[in-house]
Structure 1
Amino acid sequence: MSVAHPIGLKARTAVPPQEPAAVADERVLDRSIGDFIRQVRGLSEAQVEEILGHQRLHGIRFGEAAVALQLATRDDVLWALSQQFHYPYAPGDGASFNSELIAAVDPFHRQTESFRDIRSQLMLGALAPEQPRRALAVMSPNIGDGKSFFAANLAVVFSQLGARTLLIDADMRTPRQHALFGVPNDYGLSSILSGRSDTKAIHSLQDLPSLFVLPVGTLPPNPLELLQRPAFGLLVNELLGKFDHVIVDTPSSTHGADCRVLAAKCGVAMIIGRRGKSRMKALQGLVSEVTRGPAKFAGVVINDH
């Protein structure tokens, strides 16, 4: 994944998360790790003692001992560490999420590092605390550019900071977020904007407690008209008062003006392209349209998804 920086942001390399160094009371740390591993693997007291004995004998960490004895996997250890250090994610072997949610199912993947890097740049730029509170509209020229993939994973990494993050699926043409996160789509954004739903529309996620998803709901026959009503702007302002970050997945620009309307009401826009698929002319055209509008332009991301 690569990033174009039309507003002068500098690229940064995120430091990959590592197993923490030994601390003064390592036995307490290891016991805590043991509790988590025991929880996920259903270990007996005898198995835990076996792991502790192997740990003492070889002078290694609890997780390493459990893996060496084949009583846990590397993924189990990573999950246990994430729980101990309040870094939520959903292990891929048992997750209810789609495998495209790489930041949720594999937080140590190189693509996840790219999402963290983009998150950092946004928090130092268009979404910096000193900036006015605004939502982020994620846009693309064409269907299949990876826009929904990008919006979903960006929302995950924002939520992993412990910040209450809301992902809104406003793509009333080809919605995907309900399928990616495995949430019901009976009620959603279209229900709220038409006055037919409220509390049932926003879904919390057990494995990612700081992330919430508002799916699109029933596809309306008049999506552009629905989004152009004052109700969407009022809803975004209300949600910005309840969540730390609001990210909006928009329709591709091939569907018409929907994405530009959404960008204007969100306040910040980022454009996604796909390497080997998105045409430069289409990207440049969308950039030109966004920069002429009221939304702050946060940049272009070219992804390999």
Structure 2
Amino acid sequence: MPNPGEGQSIGDIIRQTNNLSAEQVERILSYQMQNGVKFGEAAVALGFAKEEDVLWALAQQFHFPYVNQANRKIAAEVIVGTKPFSDQSELFRAMRGQLLNTVFSKEEGHHALAVISPESGDGKSYYAANLAAALSQLGGRTLLIDADLRSPRQHEIFAIESKVGLSSILSGRAESRLIHPVEELPSLHVLPAGVVPPNPTELIQRPTFGLLVKELTTKFDYVIVDTPAASLGSDARVIATHCGAALAVCRRHKSRIDALQALLSPLTISSSVALAGVVVNEF
């Protein structure tokens, strides 16, 4: 059975999705010719379709994982899924391209990427979620691990259950079905933080975490790890060491240079961590 949109034009998909009559299609084609616009633009201008319908049609034609707003479960901040053709999404795709040539290149072997930040509120979880979503849109199996055992957010962003998760594994409580597939983005999976423990640093420093990351990098094409803010403890640096690579996120006009230097200095000294770069978050 062909995939939805395979061999169909954007106009065909919009017509079928919106149950347009032959008369409505004629009016759209006429408007299109008179104004020199695309079929989708003409349909929107005449009120026969919404911009959302056009985005959906584009996604279907190019087999591009896209979150339909009408049935959306994940948070709007996952913009590469909810607004895949926006300028913000393009920035994540640009970063994805750089990572494919560095951290996730075949020459570098299997790495996980820790997304770190100096302070809470820098946008680290937002960036980790969107970066993971962007990688998943390539079709490779992608895993997002919420290793922020202090203030986890990924379960909220992706609307998944978080009663059990990473903290369950690290505390020795074996559980099944801890990794959740994201329905709207088929190649994306999330391992939530689970119950917030009283001893997050001790759990992260146990050998179990490093062994887990090493195992998961053999089962997934891309592994992104969200971390606690560095101001809350040493967790982020420990996680980055186990991952083998780190990407730092700071916030324009908010992050302090000394806090960023304190985060990065130990990592740049260590030869076991590849620093993928520093991102200045403006959103």
- Using structure 2 for the length normalisation, give the TM-score: 0.89
Any residues of structure 2 matched to 1:15-34 within 5 Å, and which?
Answer: 28-30=7-9, 34=12
Quick check: 2:240–2:273 contact (8 Å CA) kept in 1? yes
Query: Contact (CA 8 Å) 1:159, 1:165: kept in 2 or not?
Result: yes
In the TM superposition, residue 201 of structure 1 has moved relative to its aligned partner by 1.2
Q: Which amino acid aligns with 2:27?
A: H
Q: What is aligned with 2:3?
A: none
Q: How does 1:108-147 map to 2 (within 5 A)?
A: 108-147=85-124
Q: How does 1:210-289 map to 2 (within 5 A)?
A: 210-289=187-266
Q: CA deviation at 1:62?
A: 4.4
Task: Return the alpha-carbon distance in structure 2 between the equivalents of residues 273 and 155 of structure 1.
Answer: 18
Indicate if the aligned counterparts of 1:136 and 1:270 stay in contact, CA closer than 8 A.
yes
Partner of 1:302: 280
Letter in 1 for 2:278: V
- Contact preservation (8 Å) 2:11, 2:39: yes
Distance 1:254 1:64 in 2: 48
Which deviations, in whole Å up to 9, do the C-alpha atoms of 1:116-138 show, x marking residues without a partner?
11111111122212212110000
Secondary structure class of the residue paired with 2:106: coil
Contact 1:91 1:106 in 2 (8 A): no
Return the alpha-carbon distance in structure 1 between the equivalents of residues 15 and 198 of structure 2.
Answer: 50
Determine if the alignment matches structure 1 residue 173 to structure 2 residue 154: no
Deviates more, 1:101-110 or 1:247-256: 101-110
Letter in 2 for 1:179: E
Q: Distance in 2 between matches of 1:279 and 1:92?
A: 37
SS of the residue aligned with 1:167? Answer: strand
How far is the alpha carbon of 1:33 from its aligned partner? 5.3
Q: Deviations over 1:98-119 (max 9, x none)?
A: 1221211111121111111111
1:50 to 9, 14, 23: 23
Question: What residue in structure 2 maps to residue 90 of structure 1?
Answer: 67
Runs (5+) with no aligned partner, structure 1: 1-26
Aligned in 2, Cα 1:255/1:170: closer, same or farther, shift over 3 Å? same
Query: Tell me, what secondary structure is at the counterpart of 1:161?
Result: coil
| 8 Å CA contact 2:120, 2:229 repeated in 1 | yes
Q: 1:226 to 1:110 in 2, by over 3 A?
A: same
Q: What TM-score, normalized to structure 1?
A: 0.83
Mapped to 1, the partners of 2:197 and 2:145 lie a distance apart of 16
User: Does the 8 A contact of 1:55 with 1:61 survive in 2?
Assistant: no
How large is the RMSD of aligned CA atoms in angstroms?
A: 2.1
Which AA in structure 2 matches 1:295? V
Task: State the one-letter code of the partner of 2:263.
Answer: L
Give yes or no for contact 2:28–2:46 (8 Å, CA) kept in 1: no
1:163 paired residue number: 140
On the 8 A contact 1:167/1:213 being kept in 2, the answer is yes
Q: Distance in 2 between matches of 1:246 and 1:37?
A: 39
Q: Secondary structure at the match of 2:249?
A: strand
Q: CA deviation at 1:93?
A: 5.3
Code of the aligned partner of 1:29? Q
